[in-house]
Amino acid sequence: MGADHLDLASFDLEPRAGAVRAVSASPELALMRASLLLESDPAAAARQAGDILASWPGHDEASLLLANAYRRLGDAAAACRLLESLALRSDSAVLQLELGRAYAAGGHGSEALAALQRAVDLDGDLAEGWREIAALRFHAGDNPGGDAAYLRFSELEQDPAELKDVKVALGAGRFQAAEALLHQHLRRAPADVAGLRLLADMAGRRGDRAEAERCLAQCLKLAPGDAKARHELARLLYRQERIAEMLPMVERLLAAEPRNTGYLSLKAQGMRLVGRASEAIALMQTVVADFPDDERAWLVFGNLMREVGEQSRSIEAFRRALAVRPGFGEAYWALANLKTFRFAQSDVKSMQEQLGQGSASESSRIHLEFALGKALEDAEHFAASFEHYARGAALQRATIAYDADATSDYVQRANAMYASDFFAARSAWGSERCDPIFIVGLPRSGSTLLEQILASHSQVEGTRELPDVPAMVEELAVRANPGGELRYPEPIAALSRSEIEAMAARYLAETEVRRPLRLARFVDKMLGNFSHIGLIHLMFPHATIIDARRHPMGCGFSCYKQLFAQGMNYSYDLGEMGRYYQDYANLMAHIDAVLPGRVYRVHYEQLVADPEREVRRLLERCGLPFEPACLRFYQNPRAVQTISSEQVRRPIYSDAVDHWRHYEPWLGELREAVADLCERYP
């Protein structure tokens, strides 16, 4: 038998000398003391309960405590007998809860479920009863029943009080303090699901998706019915475009809550990423019709309309969201993010009033600051505009954990590893295929324009920012040091030729689902792949790699004033933005030196100045014949899933090239960080 499964005959439950006198005056105090021993010393709790019953025969609370102790000591049968006799003269939700636990401990599942059901019938707010029902149903393989019961439990249960301090520290941007408090709490309560969810959130803020996923998976192992953890995991998978894994999770969530608009919206967003845009739009049309007062549903619907070029319907949806919730910062930012939309003066006044009231949530305030910055920029009030951009960026920076030193360290290690002889030794490796055209670089550098130009060619399929290379990189890093610090790119050096070629084959197989047209070539516009060019070159030595480059000041400021949906954590501080651009430029310069001519660079300013010349050169580099449709890219009806969707639906314009100069007086930190690059920029 285990240490907590004892023979009750091995200890004496008879009243001890003086026990009657000790408890007779205050059985409640003795009962409280005995209750405190249940977790740490159930045998002692049983003895004290026996003492109470000796003084007060038939004391219901003492009998209940004794039965609880019996169960903890491994004698479920004795617990059941005592509780059954107790139930003959009185009944309560707590008694039925303990009877259900005793039956379950004795392996009597149906009796346990019946007792627990009586418990929640007597007290529908008995959280522990719902949790025990959920556990029994999961044990029996009844996931829908378990999910429904656990949902009720989670509605009733409060998070541990210790987590309040963690959340306060996190809200104040004190990540180290929050993490220390949280780890302290989890050392005391390692199975606390709420704490693990919070740990996953903190990992996500650091950009550690593997750790976030591990924490959420642990939550679901401990509590399979935890809808919050399943929803967060589904959202994490969505952000990584692991839609095949995400959608079944959302379907399970919907089985328990079929009218949950958050789950329905997430399902629609997932469907649109796997080429099911029409289904996603139809789903959201139903959602907003059934739930016209759900502002977030209107937001999702509006973004779907934006991606397929239905700008007027997109604007209408965002306006409906604001009608439902005036001051909804996310809706104002969605309008601003159309780029071609212009706010009315009444909108500006409304946003200013919302910010002045000080009642907006942190998230809504961030969105309002960026939206108001855009509105004032369009009105050419540049000083006031920058003030709002700076406030929004500072607020957003406080919500994330970004380590600029880690980025610089990565570039130094990558440059050291990717020497000329490294590639020379592997010159015959990789796939013969040249299907993918990789566009890399920094955001706001004309990459969506390049993709739209290429996707207007009869032989090229536009996809979007594909997550496949980053996913393989993360897998490599985790595999090289499971459970420890993730190091990259060092694991690439240990890969064999066959492993590299298997990765190339896997990439082609996994991206096939995103190529419904099955054209000869396709574009992968995951910009952050600039940090994985070494691996990409090994896998696809014949594929085209295009570096979309824009002037450091133009690119840097354009990123700074953009509130990204996720990632780009370097962009909310001008100094960090400039440093990141430096790291990117240094890595690309090193690649140019060790693999001369491997990367084809397109400068945004040159593309805008002479589109036909640059487009012809681009197509030639891709091994494609010139087609006039590539110059009429703005007529391409394809869905565009980036923030530049509206900008690439009109002919090339030069307005943005030097627009940053309007803000030059306030960009000193950025200029200082990239001064040498500005001098050398063509």
Domain ranges of the chain: 8-156, 404-680
CA distance 435 to 64: 71
Q: Which fold has domain 404-680?
A: Rossmann fold (3.40.50)
Question: Rounded to whole angstroms, what are the CA distances from 516 to 270, 275, 464, 525, 636?
Answer: 16, 8, 13, 17, 16
Q: Please return the burial class of 173, using the count of CB atoms within 10 Å of its CB with bins 0-12, 13-18 and 19+.
A: middle
Number of other CB atoms surrounding residue 359 within 10 Å: 10
End-to-end C-alpha distance for the chain, whole angstroms = 78
CA distance 84 to 98: 10
Instruction: Say what the pLDDT of residue 653 is.
Output: 63
Question: Rounded to whole angstroms, what are the CA distances from 191 to 20, 133, 440, 621?
Answer: 40, 19, 42, 56
Peptide bond connecting 489 to the previous residue in cis, omega within 30 degrees of 0: yes
Entry field: residues in the chain: 682
Where would I find the beta strands (DSSP E) of 36-101?
none
Selection from 209, 214, 260, 259 nearest residue 238 by Cα? 209
Torsion sign, CA atoms 630, 635, 641, 642: positive
| 12 contacts 41 by C-beta, under 8 angstroms | no
CA distance 411 to 584: 8
| 523 contacts 451 by C-beta, under 8 angstroms | yes
Residues of the chain with pLDDT under 50: 1-24, 641, 643-646, 649
DSSP state, residue 242 = -
Question: Rounded to whole angstroms, what are the CA distances from 596 to 505, 541, 563, 588, 600?
Answer: 26, 13, 35, 11, 10
CA distance 313 to 329: 19
Alpha-helical (H) ranges within 379-442 are 382-397, 404-417, 420-424
Number of other CB atoms surrounding residue 170 within 10 Å: 21
pTM of the entire structure?
A: 0.78
At 22, list the tokens: 């000790």
Instruction: Supply the CATH classification number for the domain 8-156.
Output: 1.25.40.10
| 83 contacts 71 by C-beta, under 8 angstroms | no
Query: Tell me, what amino acid is at 617?
Result: R
Helix (H) or strand (E) holding 100: helix 93-105
Query: Tell me, what amino acid is at 521?
Result: R
At 577, list the tokens: 């933005």
Instruction: Say what the pLDDT of residue 335 is.
Output: 95
Question: Rounded to whole angstroms, what are the CA distances from 658 to 413, 580, 584?
Answer: 35, 21, 21
Instruction: Say what the pLDDT of residue 652 is.
Output: 67
At 220, list the tokens: 């679901």
For tokens 């219901």, name the residue. 60
Instruction: Say what the pLDDT of residue 37 is.
Output: 77
Which residues pair with residue 545 across a beta bridge?
A: 438, 599
| 427 contacts 499 by C-beta, under 8 angstroms | no
Ramachandran sector of residue 436 (left: φ over 0; alpha: ψ -120 to 50; beta: rest): beta
CA distance 352 to 366: 13
CA distance 159 to 431: 52
For tokens 């896998």, name the residue. 539
Instruction: Say what the pLDDT of residue 2 is.
Output: 35
| 133 contacts 141 by C-beta, under 8 angstroms | no
DSSP state, residue 528 = G
Q: Please return the burial class of 253, using the count of CB atoms within 10 Å of its CB with bins 0-12, 13-18 and 19+.
A: buried
| 563 contacts 365 by C-beta, under 8 angstroms | no
DSSP state, residue 544 = E
| 526 contacts 470 by C-beta, under 8 angstroms | yes
Strand-pair category, 599-603 with 460-464: unpaired
Residue-wise pLDDT tens digits, 278-306: 999 999 999 999 999 999 999 999 999 99
CA distance 239 to 231: 12
What are the φ/ψ torsions at residue 520 (nearest 5 degrees)? Answer: -65, -35
